[in-house]
Each structure stands twice: as structure tokens, then as C-alpha cells.
Chain A
């Protein structure tokens, strides 16, 4: 392993995107829950639901703000560290990025202000509309960014053109780019991950309150709604995962081989590995615990067709196995555990004894960590499994293993005399930067992101300890903590309209 510009830039991108990805899935998942919470409030008019929504909005706001700050970094990094890549994909990504910028970002951050600061400034329905728009905006931006990433995995709808300065991919058909083979499967899987993050986040904090016997009514309501949505997401995850994996088998066989630790193509049905230790040096899987023909069964729905292994690729075209294998298996394991947890909790909820199961509630307090690990490891498998390509090269039409078991996948090397049909990660970095610059920025990001994550945790912690505002419905004998009074006092001291606009606003807002 050499600490060159390529390696350091990959490390920096991996680090910054992984920190960034702490926030968007939570924003998306929590956004959906906010819409549900506020809709229930509007429907029932019960003030308890109002203060419940208000509390989760506060946590949402902090998460969202940090997500925006870390998101700017991602957009800049394409250009700063991956200039060759930017020149290559700019034309294809253009439309997706423009759409994301215009529809998603503005929608989110514009209405976010109303969502967070507008409780006393707009009517109930207008506020609900803002919540809906923020939720839609965050879902929109997930669409465009997954479209762009999916295009890198399974490029379609473009052609390679010799432009004024070197070759680049140019768009031929917009909808083919947007709906490239992997977009839908991957988008659905990302959304499921996001919904799991949002619901387990809410369940974690609610379970904590229940265990501490604080805000009991609030916590039970939040937990119940989140549990129902979370169970749906947990059960849907393997279905979407199965569809996604079969697509990978078809479109990116080397990636599936890496995720499954499949160094060698077998004769007949390929077993699936439940546990094993991949050894990239020796190109073999050690201590493997396997289920015969399992992978063939999952991939082709029969037990005789072999799945292509890494031996069908030139060594230079093989992804590393260790990281995709481990992270993929970690994700699958966590997903299975979440299904068991949510189904058990749902059963106990139906029996009416869920909130007495202290051990299970403790489990839910910490399960959010697992969800995060699952999200991150899924992406590690997806991105490391794509290597050595940054934009996957095209190859001879696939499903090949099925018709032709002896197929060998060969890619054109990067060569400017004829169209390249993909871009290797090692060829994609900026020419204008050197090792010291990237090492420096990596250290800088390390420090500033540490600060940022600390802020996030600290602010969340403060808000969680302060708890939701007390309302009339707080007859549940909860212990009170300080914090709210201090804020209320602060509010009182700045009261009183003292300008024309203010006085007029008071009048117009009277219908609240």
C-alpha cells in the first residue's frame, strides 16, 4: 500500500463521505416521521402530538445543518481531488446535479427555516406544508445523488466522445442515464436504510426515556409510530437487497464475487459463504462455512448454474475482496438482526407488554449504532466492490455465465488512441495536486470533522436531556429537568412589539 495521491485522495473521500453519510439518511428517515407525527397532530388536534413533533424537529434541524455543511465538502472534492474524473463525467452528471441543486437543495433549506423557526409565524397547515416540502426535498436529493452514483456502477445512456481536451462521456438519452440498470434497486435500498435510521433513532431516544421513566406518554407514542414504520423497512430490506444482488451479478460480476468471497468459479452450483476469512494474497477463502449451491440459488433461482468468480478477470481488473466481503456480510447480519428485533417488539406491542421489557428497550437504545454500521458497510461493499473502476467499464453482454460457463471478462486498458469504455480510479485524480497537499487536507478534515461530530453529539445530547417541552398533557408523573425554564425566561425578556411591522405581524398572525 503506497501513500500516494490516489490512495490519500481515496482515503479522504471515503472519510468525508462516511462522516457525511451519518446525516442524510437520518434527515430522510426522520423527515418521513415528522410528516407522520405532524399529520396525526393536525388530524387529532391533540397538543401532545404537537409538542412531540416540535421536539423531533429540533433534533432534525441540527442533523440537517451538519448534513449541509459536510455536503458542500463532497461537491467540492470531485473537482479538487478528482479533476480527471470530473472532466470525464461532467457532461453526464450535469443534468442530475442541476436538478438536485435547483429542486432539492432550495426546497429543503428554504422550507427548513419555516419548519424550525416558523412555528409562531405561519399557520398550522402552512407549517405542515413546509414539513412535507423538507421531507420531499431530502428525498429528491437522494434520488439525484443515487442516480449519479448508479451511473458510475452501471453506465448507460451515454457515449464516449473525443472532446476538445481528451475523452469524455456525453449524454445521449437523459432518461436512460437516470433510469440506468441499477438506479431503482439501489435507490429503494438507500431509502430503506434511511427509514431504518430515522425510525431506530426515534426508538433509541424513546426507549431511553421509557427506561428512565421520563416523558412516558411522549415516548410511547413516538416509539409506536417508529416501530411500525421501522418493521416495514426491516422486512423490506432483504427483498430489495436480493433484487439488488441479482442485478450486481448481471451487471458487475466482479463486485458480486468480491462481496461473496468467490475467488474461483465452481463447477456446478456455487455455495454461499456464511462465514470466512478472505486472503487476497493467496486469493483464497479460509475457514469458510458454506451452504452448498446457496449463491446459485439466490442469484439464478436454480442450484446448478455456477456464479462467476474472480478467476475470470485479469488480476488488474479484480477488486480487493477483504473489505467488500466483510462489510457486505456485516450489513446482511445486521439486517437480519433488525428484522428479529422489530418483529419481536411488534409482537410484544400487540400483547401490550412491550414497554415492560427493559432488556429489549435497552436493546433499542443501542440498536441505532447497528443501523449506522449497516448503512456504512453497505456503501463500503458497493464502492470498494466497484474497484478498480471509478466508472465501471462496459464489457461483453452478460448473463454470460449462464450461457457460456467459460467466459472471460476482458476490458480495454486506458488508451487514448481509441475510446476508453470506463475510467480507472488510479487514472482519475487531479494532476495539479501532490501528496503533501492531500495529506494536509486529510489531517484538516480529520480535525474539523471531529469537531463537527462532537458538536452534533453534544447538541443532540443537550436537547435529549432537556426533553420535549411540557404541555397540559404532562400528567404522567415525569421528572422535570431544567433547561426549558431558562429558555422561557429568555423569551419573556425580549417580548413586546416595538415597530410597525411587528405590530402588524401580530395582527395578521392572530388566526394561529
Chain B
């Protein structure tokens, strides 16, 4: 297997990990953002417990993505993580705050106690996807890199309007995704309410999606360059549109599982399109892009490392996927509150 092919495979595998993370943690972040819309304490507990046994495993996808980036493309990992220092520190705060508030909330019945942890849960669940979106927005636009590939900008440079727009799109996407997930996990009156919200959140997402698609064409003109070389990729664009269209269709026909699968496909397709826009760069430098950009061919780990990791991934991924499915199977069905609940 040639070195270039290995680099490409690892670029693809990173995409798979990122898509897996976005789909899985996406719905539990979405549930976190929807949480304050639940009015009674019991409803809020149902929301929290719908993700109770799963969020931890979902975040492992992020850890694995980080690890794989470090391992396969150390230069990209080093430049992005050190360059987005403040953003990453905020992200860590948000993720920890979320975990803590889920553990803490149920431990005392007091109204202010629960209200406080509810706010932390909301805050953590909102900041994290916003930062993911902002990061992706900046990766698409390109960031200034010094000659040694260190980031040359500041934190506030990251908060440009376009990237914030992508951040808001990420919020809307995850809210809709989480909403569909909750619809699957609830019953009775609560489920009826969630049904109405799906429509609201779907159209919100759709509107933002359309705006951001146009904006991306204007802001990131090179985003479509790769489609000239790989016209087959247009299939993904078509599938993306079909997946989005199928979300309301499946809800209308009362097939929420199909709707959930469609929104998962939408997320996967969007991750793929981001990859198409970046390729062959991992990080595009806005200064002298030809020499300073971090590419998947020049900045990958050695052939040997990529090979060993591929063996590990080939052996491990089927296990991971089968027991992920097994665990979701064990915890299928509607949420029930019991003595193990949050």
C-alpha cells in the first residue's frame, strides 16, 4: 500500500471518527440544549436520563478523534490545539461542567440547587457545539500560520461572522437531532410536545443551512475545487439534500427512527463535505497557503506508524461498532426513571 494512500485512508478515518462523534454526542448535546424547555422536574429528569448511560461512551469518540489526529498528523494536532488554546480551554470547561451538572443535579431536591445545575448543563451543552462549529468555520476559511506552522492569530480572530454562523448552524443541527432522539425515547404528553418542537427546530435548521450554504460559496470559493477532480462526490451532496428532506417526511409518516437516521446521515454528509472542501489540506494557511498549509501528505506520521495504526483500527473498529450497537440495543426503548437514574 503506497504512503499517499495510507495518508488518505487516515484522513478518511479521521472523518469517520468525527462523524461518529458528531452523530452520537450531537444528540446528547442537543438534549442538553433542549433541557430547559422541559417544564417539570420529572420531564427534565427524563431528558437527562435518556442520555444518562450513553453520553460517556459518546465522548470517547472525541477522545479517540483527538488521539488519532495526534498520532496520524502530529503537526496538525500541535498547530490547531496550541493555536486555538483559549477555545480548547473553554471547550474543556464546557464538557466538564456538563458532566458535573448531570452527576450533581439529582443529588438534592432543592429548587435552587437543581436550577443552578440546570443552567450549568445548558451552558456546557451550548458552548461545546458552538465552539465545534466556530472551529470548523475557521478551518474552512483558513487560519494564519507562521513559517513553523504555529498559529499567528488571536482568539478573537476566530470569532469572525462566518465562523460564528457555522457555530450557530451546529447548534441548530444538534438541537434538531437531539429533539428527534428525545421523541424516540419518550411517550405520552411529553412526546406530543416534542413532536411539535421537531417541526419548529427542523425549519430553523433548514433556514440556517440554506443561508450558510450560500455564505460558504461566497466566503470559501475554493470549497468546490475538489468536485472538479472527483465529480462522483456530487452524489454525497444529493444524498445530503435527500436526507434533509427525509427528516420531516419520516416524522409526518410517524417513523421517528427513519427521521433520526436521516438526521444522522445529514451530519455524516456535512462532515464529508467539510473534508472535501479541505482536501488535501488539514489546516489551510491564510498566509502563503502553498507553503505553510498543513497537508495530509506532507505532515502525516511515518509509513510504519500509519500501517501499525491501520492494523489496530482494522482489528478494533469491528469490535467497537458491534459493542456500540449492542449497548444501544440494551438501552433501547423509552426512558424509565429508577434507583440508578440521575
The interface of chain A, by Cβ under 8 A from chain B, is 62, 65-66, 68-73, 75-76, 78-81, 83-84, 86-87, 89-95, 97-103, 105-107, 109-114, 116-122, 161, 164-166, 168, 170-172, 174, 430-433, 437, 440-441, 444, 448, 451-452, 455, 458-459, 462, 484, 487-488, 490-491, 494, 498-499, 501-502, 505
Q: Is B78 an interface residue (CB 8 A)?
A: yes
B residues 274-326 with Cβ under 8 Å of A?
Answer: 298-299, 301-302, 304-305, 308-309, 312-313, 316-317, 319-320, 323-324, 326
10 contacts between A and B (CB under 8 A): A81-B82, A84-B78, A87-B75, A90-B71, A91-B305, A101-B60, A101-B67, A106-B64, A117-B331, A459-B107
Q: Contacts A76-B92, A102-B64, A444-B93 known; A94 to B99 CB distance under 8 Å?
A: no
New A-B pairs, 5, CB < 8 Å, besides A65-B99, A90-B73, A90-B74: A79-B66, A80-B81, A98-B71, A459-B104, A498-B334
**Contact indicator B327/A90 (Cβ below 8 Å):** no
Interface string of B82-125 (1 = CB under 8 A from A): 11011011001101110110011001000000000000000000
| B340 contacts the other chain (CB 8 A) | yes
The minimal Cβ–Cβ distance linking A461 to chain B, given in whole angstroms, is 10
Contacts between chains A and B (CB distance < 8 A), count: 258
A433 touches B56 (CB 8 A): no
Contact A116 to B89, CB < 8 A, known contacts A165-B75, A432-B151: no
Give the residues in chain A near B148, CB-CB below 8 Å: 165-166, 431
Other-chain residue from A430, A462, A499 in contact with B82 (beta carbon distance below 8 A): A430
- Given A83-B78, A91-B301, A170-B302, also A490-B337 (CB < 8 A): yes
How many Å from the CB of B254 to the closest CB on chain A? 13
The B interface is mostly helix, strand or loop, or mixed, namely: helix
Report, nearest first, the 5 A-B pairs whose CB atoms are least far apart.
A90-B74, A79-B81, A94-B71, A430-B82, A102-B316
- Set B72, B86, B107, B320: member contacting A462, Cβ < 8 A: B107
Q: Of B56, B74, B107, B332, which is within 8 A of A91 by CB?
A: B74
A-facing mask of B50-82, CB < 8 A → 1, else 0? 001110110110111011101111110111111
Partner of A164, one of B78, B97, B298, B312: B298
Complex contact A71–B63 (CB within 8 A): yes
CB distance from A107 to the nearest CB of B (A): 8
Binding site for A on B (CB under 8 A): 52-54, 56-57, 59-60, 62-64, 66-68, 70-75, 77-83, 85-86, 88-89, 92-93, 95-97, 99-100, 103-104, 107, 146, 148-152, 187-188, 298-299, 301-302, 304-305, 308-309, 312-313, 316-317, 319-320, 323-324, 326-327, 330-334, 336-341
- A-side contacts of B319, CB under 8 Å: 103, 106
| CB-CB nearest in chain B for A430 | B82
Helix, strand, loop or mixed for chain A's interface? helix
For residue A488, which residues in chain B have a CB less than 8 angstroms away from its CB?
A: 339
Residues from chain B with Cβ under 8 Å of A111 in the complex? 323, 327
